Amino acid sequence: MKDANCYLRKKAMKVQMEKEKRQAVKEASEKARLKEKTRADRLSRMIEGKTEEIQCSGRKIKELQQQLKRGTKGHQVVSQVERMTND
């Protein structure tokens, strides 16, 4: 009888440990998934910001080129366009 109780306790303990292990793995996986999602979201926002910056620079370059064609800004515009295209 004593051996049977010992066996049942060991088996119950083993089952409990397996259950806790699965729960720990599940929690760790969820934590890693959320961390990766946060990183991806942050990277996405940064890329969107840089894309907007590039588009604004492109519009400014076109505007300056048009002004240059019209001759409204003279040498100052030429220098500014050259600096922007070299960056």
**pLDDT at position 41:** 97
Tell me the pLDDT of the chain averaged across its residues: 86
Q: What is the pTM of this model?
A: 0.54
- What lies within 8 Å, CB to CB, of 64 at 6+ separation is 73, 77, 80, 81, 84
Q: Is the pLDDT of residue 87 over 80?
A: no
CB 37 within 8 A of CB 57: no
Q: Is the pLDDT of residue 66 over 70?
A: yes
**75-86 helix and 2-70 helix, angle to the nearest 10 degrees:** 160
**What distances in angstroms separate CA 68 from CA 17, 24, 74, 82, 84, one per listed residue?**
76, 66, 7, 12, 14
**pLDDT at position 74:** 56
